[in-house]
């Protein structure tokens, strides 16, 4: 085997495909077929040995890797680098160049068998391409070979319900292929740990083998590696990328008579689930009826009522330049744009600033690769946002909290995107790069919902705590906030990752909560926490259950890269994939995740003090028992030491 590389004579310092193979290897070689399918990147190069493929997979920065890169950080990649390297580094083999340009390993995470064998080979590859588990082609962060068996009925089920993948950890690692089923073998993991962003590992007692809850873990096969925190945009981008690849590859294959019968199954229709609202009145529960008749005008009327309007107002007038003197774009989602309106010339955000989320709705054109939301779909988000914000108003004196983001105003506007907002969009694009469509795509008929929210500070991921005591009391605030909403509205947040907990410094000494008519004052320790983003949330309001049906979102349930992605699977298991069900344990799962982040993940200024050590131990002890609790209310009682 010739491993020599002449850097000077060839800028592409890679071996010829197949250079490392002997004749037997060549017989079994699946890669040309994979490349044809566009499953494997064309620029994947042969590795020196099988295990070095992991290096191959992590040395690329530029290619369209299955690792979804954050806009601003490489944490995920670094973490993979730390945890996945299993081979001899090139340097130890006396090679001082980096011949590997790809980020997707040809061998490492997958051990594909039965490719390229006999007449049926191409057919079989198509079926692999058809699997909803297509993204399993990613390098696993963990080790251990699993045998995965796909047959036709299992494949269908995988679109509807729980994963169809069965663990065969007790059986041999070899696949045996009966005539009528398709088998794919690849490396995967049964990961019973919570991984920190620093790459260290927290073992959660709930994941021990003897616990029935390990079913959750046994069933899942992590594959799509996501950046911890905000996942929606990454998953959307990844899906768009996959769809583009697949449609061009499908077009190619359609022109190929031999394979013309093979079709891909669409999979981008369920990006963040489907928002639903159903009646819970006893006589209507069994019918699962929508809260209001399926009449488009009625949905619009309801949204407008929530906006205190009877028709959409002109966008340009409502958000005129004069009202937006100190405005800047601060973020974006697949749903739309986020601007910050400050009250001072320096545009420094404070509690008087307003965050404006501008969401185009009802239009025919796709925005950021997505269909626009309808009045029907936006209604329940509007209702949840308003009612949770109203919990601060003491309307219901039994349950009071200011822990949910305050909604200053919701407006429904119509027209072209105002020029000055377009300019702010362009400045953001220039400085940070936007993945969204330019807002000049909207014409005068476009309708938008503008959510004006109180500015609530930095998210948990970027905040630096003084010490663990401050973090502990932040946790108490979060738990009480959820507990109050749980009590008032059977609320479950369902997506409480560290990007959705905001923290602002405060001079107030304490923050009050009323939970079931009892008022508690929690020390702030100088900070106030606020929860945002109810896209996946569930609540019962006015006999109506508002929830997001993500039962078919296989990609989200297959994601890995952080304990966060186990939580989606744990919720699915607890809810038996019926997302309208009230199951307050989902709140406990997220509290467990937040504690894990406070133990490993968040930043602390002073870690050498006694107070830090004391509260750090408290967090660790709490992490040990948290999954034994059944609701945020029970957790609040536990933290406040209240007897039930
Ligand atoms: N009330 C608020 N105060 C301060 N910052 C906010 C507030 N609401 C949102 N942000 C910030 O604005 C940015 C966009 O937030 P948002 O939650 O709407 O988008 P996202 O969650 O990234 O999108 P998606 O819902 O698609 O995941 C984030 O950086 C978030 O921290």
- DSSP-derived letter for residue 377 is H
Distance CA 574, CA 582 (A): 10
Q: Whole-prediction pTM value?
A: 0.66
Q: Are the C-beta atoms of 38 and 83 separated by less than 8 Å?
A: no
Distance CA 554, CA 625 (A): 30
CA-wise closest residue to 488 among 577, 585, 392: 392
- pLDDT for position 67: 28
CA-wise closest residue to 421 among 384, 446, 458, 404: 446
Query: Using 50, 70 and 90 to split pLDDT, how confident is the model at 17?
Result: low
Higher-confidence position of 94 and 381: 381
For residue 217, the tally of other CB atoms under 10 A from its CB is: 23
Tokens of 504: 């602002």
- Where does 460-577 have alpha helices with state H? 468-489, 554-558, 563-575
ipTM over 0.90: yes
- pLDDT for position 235: 76
Query: Using 50, 70 and 90 to split pLDDT, how confident is the model at 543?
Result: confident
Distance CA 443, CA 417 (A): 8
Higher-confidence position of 152 and 433: 433
Query: Ligand 1 centre and the CA of 465: distance in Å?
Result: 20
Lowest mean pLDDT, pick from 57-61, 82-86, 123-127, 368-372: 123-127
Looking from the CA of residue 230, the nearest atom of ligand 1 is: 27
Report the first-to-last Cα separation within the chain, whole angstroms: 72
Q: Are the C-beta atoms of 115 and 121 separated by less than 8 Å?
A: yes
- pLDDT for position 236: 73
Ligand 1, from 230, 272, 424, 460: best to mutate by most atoms within 8 Å of Cβ?
Answer: 230
DSSP 222-254: --EE--SS--HHHHHHHHHHHHHHHHHHHHHHH
Query: Using 50, 70 and 90 to split pLDDT, how confident is the model at 19?
Result: low
- pLDDT for position 23: 61
Q: Is pLDDT at 297 greater than 80 in this prediction?
A: no
Place of tokens 């947040």: 493
Most confident region among 118-132, 298-312, 318-332 by mean pLDDT = 298-312
Distance CA 444, CA 148 (A): 52
Q: Is the CB of 148 under 6 A from ligand 1?
A: no
- pLDDT for position 13: 52
Looking from the CA of residue 405, the nearest atom of ligand 1 is: 1
Distance CA 632, CA 484 (A): 9
The pLDDT tens digits of the residues spanning 306-353 come to 999 999 999 999 999 888 888 999 999 888 999 999 987 777 788 889
Tokens of 442: 């909207």
Q: What is the mean pLDDT of the chain?
A: 70
- pLDDT for position 197: 37
- DSSP-derived letter for residue 290 is B
Distance CA 426, CA 329 (A): 9
- pLDDT for position 207: 41
Q: Is pLDDT at 391 greater than 80 in this prediction?
A: yes
Parallel/antiparallel/unpaired status of strands 603-604 and 464-465: parallel
Distance CA 416, CA 314 (A): 9
Query: Ligand 1 centre and the CA of 208: distance in Å?
Result: 35
Q: What b/e string do you get for 182-200 counting C-beta neighbours within 10 Å, with b at 16 or more?
A: bbbbbbbbbbbbbbbbeee
- pLDDT for position 288: 56
Q: Is the CB of 528 under 6 A from ligand 1?
A: no
Give backbone dihedrals phi and psi of 333, rounded to 5 degrees, phi first: -135, 175
Catalytic residue among 6, 51, 364, 495: 495
Based on its alpha-carbon atoms, the radius of gyration of the chain, rounded to whole angstroms, reads 26
Query: Using 50, 70 and 90 to split pLDDT, how confident is the model at 553?
Result: confident
In the chain, the domains with their CATH numbers are 273-280+297-455 (3.30.200.20), 457-643 (1.10.510.10)
Q: Is pLDDT at 513 greater than 50 in this prediction?
A: yes
Give CA angle at 232 (227, 238), nearest 5°: 75
The pLDDT tens digits of the residues spanning 27-74 come to 555 444 444 444 433 333 333 333 333 333 333 333 322 222 333 333
Task: Say whether 495 is catalytic.
Answer: yes
- pLDDT for position 369: 85
Q: Is pLDDT at 438 greater than 90 in this prediction?
A: yes
For residue 636, the tally of other CB atoms under 10 A from its CB is: 26
Place of tokens 């105002």: 418
Distance CA 38, CA 249 (A): 7
Q: Is pLDDT at 431 greater than 60 in this prediction?
A: yes
- pLDDT for position 38: 44
SS3 533: coil
DSSP 23-50: HHHHHH--HHHHHHTTSS-TT----SSS
- DSSP-derived letter for residue 344 is S
Higher-confidence position of 161 and 470: 470
Q: Residues 343, 345, 346, 350: what is their CA dihedral angle, to the nearest 10 degrees? A: -10
Q: Is pLDDT at 92 greater than 80 in this prediction?
A: no
Lowest mean pLDDT, pick from 33-47, 49-63, 283-297, 512-526: 49-63
What does the pLDDT average to over 550-565? 91
- pLDDT for position 323: 81
- DSSP-derived letter for residue 417 is P
- pLDDT for position 244: 62
Lowest mean pLDDT, pick from 268-277, 290-299, 541-550, 622-631: 268-277
Parallel/antiparallel/unpaired status of strands 518-523 and 464-465: unpaired
Q: Is the CB of 553 under 6 A from ligand 1?
A: no
- pLDDT for position 281: 53
Place of tokens 């009202």: 323
- pLDDT for position 261: 36
Most confident region among 99-108, 116-125, 133-142, 352-361 by mean pLDDT = 352-361
Q: Are the C-beta atoms of 509 and 523 separated by less than 8 Å?
A: yes
Q: What percent of the chain has pLDDT over 70?
A: 56
Q: Is the CB of 381 under 6 A from ligand 1?
A: no
Place of tokens 């190619």: 252
Q: Is the CB of 271 under 6 A from ligand 1?
A: no
The pLDDT tens digits of the residues spanning 182-229 come to 222 222 333 444 444 334 445 454 444 334 443 443 444 446 777 787
Q: What are the CA-CA distances from residue 91 to residues 48, 98, 283 (Å)?
A: 13, 9, 72
- pLDDT for position 231: 75
Q: What percent of the chain has pLDDT over 90?
A: 46
Q: Are the C-beta atoms of 362 and 374 separated by less than 8 Å?
A: yes
Most confident region among 141-145, 195-199, 283-287, 452-456 by mean pLDDT = 452-456
Tokens of 577: 């994939």
Distance CA 126, CA 37 (A): 8
Most confident region among 110-119, 319-328, 523-532 by mean pLDDT = 523-532
């Amino acid at each position: 085997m010739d491993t020599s590389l002449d850097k000077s004579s060839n800028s592409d310092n890679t071996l010829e495909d197949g250079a490392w193979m002997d004749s037997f290897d060549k017989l079994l070689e699946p890669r040309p077929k994979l490349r044809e399918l566009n499953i494997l990147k064309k620029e994947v190069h042969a590795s020196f040995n099988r295990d070095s493929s992991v290096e191959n997979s992590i040395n690329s920065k530029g290619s369209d890797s299955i690792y979804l890169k954050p806009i601003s950080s490489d944490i995920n990649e670094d973490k993979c680098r730390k945890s996945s390297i299993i081979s001899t580094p090139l340097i130890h083999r006396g090679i001082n160049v980096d011949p590997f340009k790809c980020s997707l390993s040809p061998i490492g995470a997958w051990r594909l068998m039965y490719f390229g064998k006999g007449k049926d080979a191409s057919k079989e590859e198509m079926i692999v391409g058809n699997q909803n588990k297509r993204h399993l082609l990613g390098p696993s962060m963990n080790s251990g070979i699993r045998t995965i068996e796909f047959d036709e009925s299992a494949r269908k089920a995988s679109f509807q319900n729980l994963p169809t993948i069965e663990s065969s950890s007790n059986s041999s690692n070899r696949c045996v292929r009966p005539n009528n089923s398709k088998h794919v073998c690849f490396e995967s993991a049964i990961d019973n740990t919570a991984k920190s962003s620093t790459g260290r590992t927290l073992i959660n007692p709930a994941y021990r083998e003897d616990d029935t809850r390990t079913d959750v873990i046994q069933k899942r096969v992590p594959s799509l590696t996501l950046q911890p925190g905000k996942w929606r945009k990454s998953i959307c981008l990844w899906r768009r990328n996959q769809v583009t690849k697949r449609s061009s590859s499908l077009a190619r294959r359609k022109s190929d008579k031999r394979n013309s019968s093979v079709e891909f199954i669409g999979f981008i229709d369920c990006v963040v689930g489907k928002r639903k609202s159903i009646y819970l009145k006893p006589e209507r529960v069994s019918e699962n009826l929508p809260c209001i008749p399926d009449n488009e005008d009625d949905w619009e009327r309801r949204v407008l009522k929530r906006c205190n309007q009877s028709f959409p107002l002109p966008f340009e007038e409502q958000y005129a330049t004069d009202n937006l003197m100190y405005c800047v774009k601060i973020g974006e989602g697949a749903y739309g744009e986020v601007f910050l309106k400050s009250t001072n010339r320096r545009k420094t955000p404070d509690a008087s600033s307003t965050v404006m989320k501008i969401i185009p709705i009802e239009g025919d054109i796709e925005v950021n690769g997505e269909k626009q939301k309808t009045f029907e779909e936006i209604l329940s988000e509007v209702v949840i946002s308003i009612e949770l914000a109203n919990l601060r108003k003491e309307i219901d004196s039994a349950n009071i909290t200011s822990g949910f983001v305050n909604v200053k105003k919701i407006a429904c506007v119509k027209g072209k995107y105002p020029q000055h907002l377009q300019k702010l969009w362009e400045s953001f694009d220039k400085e940070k790069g936007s993945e969204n469509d330019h807002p000049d795509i909207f014409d005068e008929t476009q309708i938008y919902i503008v959510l004006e929210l109180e500015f609530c500070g930095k998210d948990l991921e970027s905040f630096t705590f003084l010490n663990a005591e401050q973090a502990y009391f932040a946790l108490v605030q979060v738990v009480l906030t959820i507990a109050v909403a749980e009590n008032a509205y059977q609320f479950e947040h369902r997506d409480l990752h560290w990007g959705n907990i905001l923290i602002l410094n405060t001079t107030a000494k304490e923050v009050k909560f009323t939970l079931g008519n009892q008022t508690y004052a929690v020390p702030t320790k100088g900070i106030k926490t606020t929860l945002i983003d109810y896209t996946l949330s569930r609540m019962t309001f006015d006999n109506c259950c508002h929830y997001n049906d993500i039962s078919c979102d296989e990609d989200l349930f297959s994601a890995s890269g952080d304990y966060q992605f186990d939580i989606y699977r744990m919720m699915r298991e607890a809810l038996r994939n019926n997302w309208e069900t009230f199951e307050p344990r989902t709140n406990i799962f997220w509290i467990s995740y937040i504690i894990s982040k406070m133990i490993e993940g968040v930043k602390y200024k002073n870690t050498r003090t006694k107070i830090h050590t004391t509260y750090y131990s408290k967090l660790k002890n709490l992490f040990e028992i948290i999954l034994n609790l059944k609701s945020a209310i029970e957790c609040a009682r536990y933290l406040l030491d209240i007897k039930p």
